[in-house]
Structure 1
Amino acid sequence: MENKMFCYQCEQTAGCSACTGNAGVCGKKSGTAKLQDELTGALVGLARATEGSTVLADSTYQAIIEGLFTTITNVSFDDDSIREMIKKVRAEKQKLVPDCSTCGSPCGRNDEYDMNQLWDADEDIRSLKSLILFGIRGMAAYAYHAAVLGYTDEEVNKFFCEALFAIGYEEEAERLLPLVLKVGEINLKCMALLDKANTETYGNPVPVTVSLTVEKGPFIVVTGHDLKDLQLLLEQTKGKGINIYTHGEMLPAHAYPELKKYPHLKGNFGTAWQNQQKEFADLPAPILFTTNCLMPPKASYADRVFTTEVVAFPGAVHIGEEKDFTPVIEKALELGGFAENRVFTGINGGTEVSTGFGHGFILENAGTVVEAVKNGAIKHFFLVAGCDGAKPGRNYYTEFVKQTPDDSIVLTLACGKYRFNDLDLGTIGGLPRLMDMGQCNDAYGAIQVAVALADAFGCGVNDLPLSYVLSWYEQKAVCILLTLLHLGIKNIRLGPSLPAFVSPNILNFLVENYGIAPITTPEEDLAALLK
């Protein structure tokens, strides 16, 4: 595979097999894919150089986390920024093993891993290593967002090195399989770290109704996951007559008290990330991309795209570490926004959505929930969560939620909720039947709720009337799935298709040990889950 692209890390990969042509389905060019492989190989080499070091500099961990984050789908399409990241990783390695590259000793510490060795490996080894690699890429995004707020964890940081080392140098399936589950274990710690970072910085989320109407006048749309970027933009736009609207995974920001206090944080624009090329086409406002949700911009709005953090696209204005959003602000004032208020709707015609039903709120109301279960008002819980995407068949999740019984609660999180989050499912005992728990990383909160319910009823999590119906697209969904497997959660329904990087033997292991099954139809799956 020396002269061509090989990428199968996301759900939309070509033919449910791999993107191997001149460009991936995501729009990433083959040269960019090869650079991302080079970056990953350099990260494996850096991890190899850390062997024997008991204390590592913060800059080493930062380079590893940023490097992994850079390779997530829909983050960076910019070759120059990836080359700079490769230089950064190599500089960190040089600090650990000075002049090692000129040494003729066969210790291997001067090597960078050739990713073709992975792509050409035995399919089961390749599958296990891919699960580890894609899992830590997703986890790196969470570690990055926590670090931005000043929260780090030594165990999480060290595990990135352990996992990268194994990707390069471990060849036994019996040793790789436990490491796959360890990705899930450490990711749970990482999600807990980010939950702590977000809640201690911005307060515990509270339920809130968010309008989909965009008011007249200048505005900025902020998409992605990084709450710190949103806070900084809100600070810099105070008193300037510019309204701020969230998009995609930024929607849950409305629920945090410290962000809610900004009166110009007005509402939410648009739906999930894969609709941006249509929704942004005629938007009289700039869009700030903070994380992995960028699609190659159409010419109709390319001059309105701004990036920050590790997100990058050739030609787009990038807001660097100084976090001066003046170019975004000036563009908003120049474009002027809509002349009159514009009422937008969700996929199902709703004009508002709700969010903020985090684990803190649900656990505060645990008595109400438990009593409703005991008296039969609530008979089942569904976690319908995960990524959205463009592949046909994702309307399954809309229909599934519509058909859930009136005596059930639907918990949701991540951007897959845009398929149904504007539906009104009514209430049970004063609680809404549909509760948005937040971003994809807030899967940690869903886990806390499941554990608390199991404790309340004196049973195991798998004995609860709780079903998991998940959608996946990219690598953060992979690390969350591995966390659920680490916790022993069984009988997950996964769609819209199964990952191309899971070999038949590894899939059979997951089916036999965890009962993972592909989605079928809403009717068939509901019937099976409600038995």
Structure 2
Amino acid sequence: MFCYQCEQTMRSDVQDGCYTDKGVCGKTAETSDLQDILIYQVKGIAQYAQLARGLGVVDVAVDDFIQFAIFTTLTNVNFTSARFVSLVQQAAEVRNSIKDKYLAAALLKGVEAEVPMGPAQFDPAADMDNILKQESVAIVNKDHDIIGEDANGLKMLILYGMKGVCAYSHHARMLGYRQDDIDAEIERILTYLTSNPTDIEDLLNQALSAGHLNLKVMDLLDRANNETFGNQEPTQVRVTPVAGKCLLVSGHDLHDMHQILEQTKDMGINVYTHGEMLPAHAYPGLKKYPHLAGNYGGAWQDQQREFAEFPGPIVLTSNCIIEPAKNYRQRIFTTGPVGWPGVRHIEGGNYKPLIQAAKALPGFKADEEEKTITTGFGHHTVLGVADKVIDAVKSGAIKHFFMIGGCDGAKPGRNYYTELAEKTPDDTIMMTLGCNKFRFNKEEFGDIGGIPRLLDMGQCNDAFSAIKVATELANAFECGVNDLPLSLMVSWFEQKATAVLLALLAAGVKGIHLGPSLPPYLTSNLLAVLVERFDIRVNGTAEADLEKALGHAVA
């Protein structure tokens, strides 16, 4: 195996990347290699899908498969080798189906059919052992010595960004939202990656194209969530348990969350959110369920301790699953793209096994003292009081905005974001996106003229809110986004964060602080280019970075 798509990557003086029998995330070499082969095949599907589209043939089921298959390969999503063997075989069938439709359309229109090379011609073996022998054509760094480390690094930046794009798009599709232009652009960029591009300028432009694409996808997902469940609204969320039977829902997928709430109503089972599912409490269509009892626990990297202590079943709806410990392995379920060997997987939205487990397990014996946090400051809420925000900026009551967002993680350096939040002056506003907020979102930061100093805008799936707010404030002040008193302090971890970073760069945002460590596929040359063009800033200390943002020392 060789994998360096996430921040957990092994790093050494010799090589950056997980290349042993098991990745830091827990992914086996077999699973990693099968994922590479699946991605290779998906590029081949995209080659034929793009050709077919050029002749007026569009197959939504093909695009569904492309995006779902790619989602399964994100960090901490699916670790089940047998499932990937099945997906590899299914990918060959999907490729053949769109190939046949393309050839039929070409014959009907009297045009000579093209024969795309590379991934489009790949045929997998019949079993896992022989499929794994084919991995050499698909390993992510196979062209490193041919095209050079800089070009290969940019290819990976695009590919990993596209993984995030497909994950976000899949969430929207689960709610019935898709756009043909999005599907077409996903096909185009994946096909572009099959051409072994080497021109750095062109690769950079394609990376920005992936960013522009993700802006569309995040807009679509924002509309899917808000139009389906109502606009987010500020909501106090209980973070201490109440007595009774219970189950826990983690991940990002609001469609799954709604199904679980609907299937458990009037059953005496309290439903708790975990980690990335926290924003569910802010949507009227979800918080109307009285048995949505609160949020339990924090970010993904603490799940082994938190899941062990939870007295009910747990279901993972998307990333981020880590190896289930023995003391709760029998209580955990997966659904959608998620999987772990030996863990029960729920198909077709039928949550009866989860409900049965909740009824059988003890649940919480007593209420704990009530404590709450507030979420739900999406763009509809913030822009609804934009006049107050603008007046506060003009009067000097608000001096600066900080977007402290991104993924949390287990590696050292994440305490930077806690220190940053704690040291921001009282005349500044903090907006949060992503699970790094669990490091500081239970602290009291007060308010400025009734505007809370800490505005929880949701998870990475809600990143469009931050972009929308920044754009609208810039319009109100008749300036560019980069002229606002706004600093973005972003922690990256995996491929959804990569997609958001590309979206921010595509939107023209500069001066982003990125950390705690940089993606290993970004070579020193590429980093120099990003610093020059986009003023990307590597995290220093919280004090030094605050001083640079504010233009003065922080007391």
User: TM-score, normalised on structure 1?
Assistant: 0.95
Q: Deviations over 1:279-334 (max 9, x none)?
A: 1123211101000110010111000110000101111111102x110110111111
Whether the 8 Å CA contact 1:379–1:407 is kept in 2: the answer is yes
Q: Deviations over 1:226-253 (max 9, x none)?
A: 1111111111111111000000010010
Does 1:163 find its partner at 2:193?
Answer: no
Q: Residues 485 and 107 from structure 1, CA distance in 2 versus in 1: closer, same or farther, beyond 3 angstroms?
A: closer
Match of 1:352 in 2: 372
Q: Deviations over 1:446-501 (max 9, x none)?
A: 01111111111111110100000000111000000001111111111011101101
Match of 1:428 in 2: 448
2:117 partner SS: coil
1:341 partner SS: coil
Whether the 8 Å CA contact 2:47–2:116 is kept in 1: the answer is no
Q: Deviations over 1:172-209 (max 9, x none)?
A: 22322211000000100000000000011000000011
Mapped partners of 1:320, 1:378: distance in 2: 49
Specify which of 447, 452, 461 is matched with residue 441 of structure 1.
Answer: 461
Mapped partners of 1:202, 1:529: distance in 2: 37
Specify which of 6, 10, 30 is matched with residue 6 of structure 2.
Answer: 10
Moved more, 123-132 or 109-118: 109-118
Match of 1:260 in 2: 287
Moved more, 402-411 or 115-124: 115-124
Match of 2:117 in 1: 108
Mapped partners of 2:87, 2:64: distance in 1: 11
Match of 1:327 in 2: 353
The Cα of 1:343 is off from its aligned counterpart by: 5.1
Q: Residues 373 and 111 from structure 1, CA distance in 2 versus in 1: closer, same or farther, beyond 3 angstroms?
A: same
Q: Which amino acid aligns with 1:87?
A: Q
Q: Which amino acid aligns with 1:9?
A: Q
Match of 1:92 in 2: 94
Q: Deviations over 1:211-232 (max 9, x none)?
A: 1111111100000001111111
Mapped partners of 1:85, 1:252: distance in 2: 31
Specify which of 187, 191, 200 is matched with residue 227 of structure 2.
Answer: 200
Specify which of 487, 497, 502 is matched with residue 477 of structure 1.
Answer: 497
Identity of aligned residues (%): 47
Mapped partners of 1:283, 1:379: distance in 2: 42
Specify which of 521, 525, 530 is matched with residue 505 of structure 1.
Answer: 525
Mapped partners of 1:485, 1:305: distance in 2: 38
The Cα of 1:402 is off from its aligned counterpart by: 0.4
Q: Which amino acid aligns with 1:148?
A: M
Whether the 8 Å CA contact 1:78–1:314 is kept in 2: the answer is yes
Whether the 8 Å CA contact 1:282–1:300 is kept in 2: the answer is no
Q: Deviations over 1:5-24 (max 9, x none)?
A: 10000011112721110111
Whether the 8 Å CA contact 2:50–2:188 is kept in 1: the answer is no
Mapped partners of 1:107, 1:468: distance in 2: 42
Does 1:29 find its partner at 2:28?
Answer: yes
Whether the 8 Å CA contact 1:9–1:134 is kept in 2: the answer is yes
The Cα of 1:91 is off from its aligned counterpart by: 1.1
Mapped partners of 1:379, 1:98: distance in 2: 61
- For residues 32-431 of structure 1, what are the structure 2 equivalents within 5 Å? 32-54=31-53, 55-98=57-100, 107-108=116-117, 110-112=120-122, 114-116=137-139, 118-121=141-144, 122-173=148-199, 174-321=201-348, 323-342=349-368, 351-431=371-451
Q: Which amino acid aligns with 1:522?
A: A
Structure 2: gaps (5+ residues): 103-113, 123-135
Mapped partners of 2:252, 2:116: distance in 1: 41
The Cα of 1:99 is off from its aligned counterpart by: 12
Moved more, 119-128 or 400-409: 119-128
Mapped partners of 2:162, 2:468: distance in 1: 22
Mapped partners of 1:393, 1:157: distance in 2: 37
Mapped partners of 1:116, 1:385: distance in 2: 32
Match of 2:19 in 1: 20
Whether the 8 Å CA contact 1:166–1:176 is kept in 2: the answer is no
2:223 partner SS: helix
The Cα of 1:388 is off from its aligned counterpart by: 0.4
Moved more, 456-465 or 49-58: 49-58
Whether the 8 Å CA contact 2:246–2:272 is kept in 1: the answer is yes
Q: Residues 231 and 86 from structure 1, CA distance in 2 versus in 1: closer, same or farther, beyond 3 angstroms?
A: same
The Cα of 1:106 is off from its aligned counterpart by: 7.1
Mapped partners of 1:337, 1:310: distance in 2: 28
The Cα of 1:107 is off from its aligned counterpart by: 4.9
The Cα of 1:158 is off from its aligned counterpart by: 1.1
Whether the 8 Å CA contact 2:172–2:178 is kept in 1: the answer is yes
Whether the 8 Å CA contact 2:59–2:98 is kept in 1: the answer is no
Match of 1:493 in 2: 513
Structure 1: gaps (5+ residues): 345-350
Whether the 8 Å CA contact 1:170–1:176 is kept in 2: the answer is no
Mapped partners of 1:272, 1:313: distance in 2: 19
User: TM-score, normalised on structure 2?
Assistant: 0.91
The Cα of 1:339 is off from its aligned counterpart by: 1.4
Whether the 8 Å CA contact 1:206–1:358 is kept in 2: the answer is yes
The number of aligned residues is 517
1:266 partner SS: strand
The Cα of 1:353 is off from its aligned counterpart by: 1.4
Mapped partners of 2:386, 2:142: distance in 1: 48
Whether the 8 Å CA contact 1:288–1:306 is kept in 2: the answer is yes
Q: Deviations over 1:371-422 (max 9, x none)?
A: 0001110000000000000001101100100000100000001111101111
2:256 partner SS: helix
Q: Deviations over 1:95-125 (max 9, x none)?
A: 122499xxxx975274239223644422111
Mapped partners of 2:80, 2:369: distance in 1: 35
Q: Which amino acid aligns with 2:32?
A: A
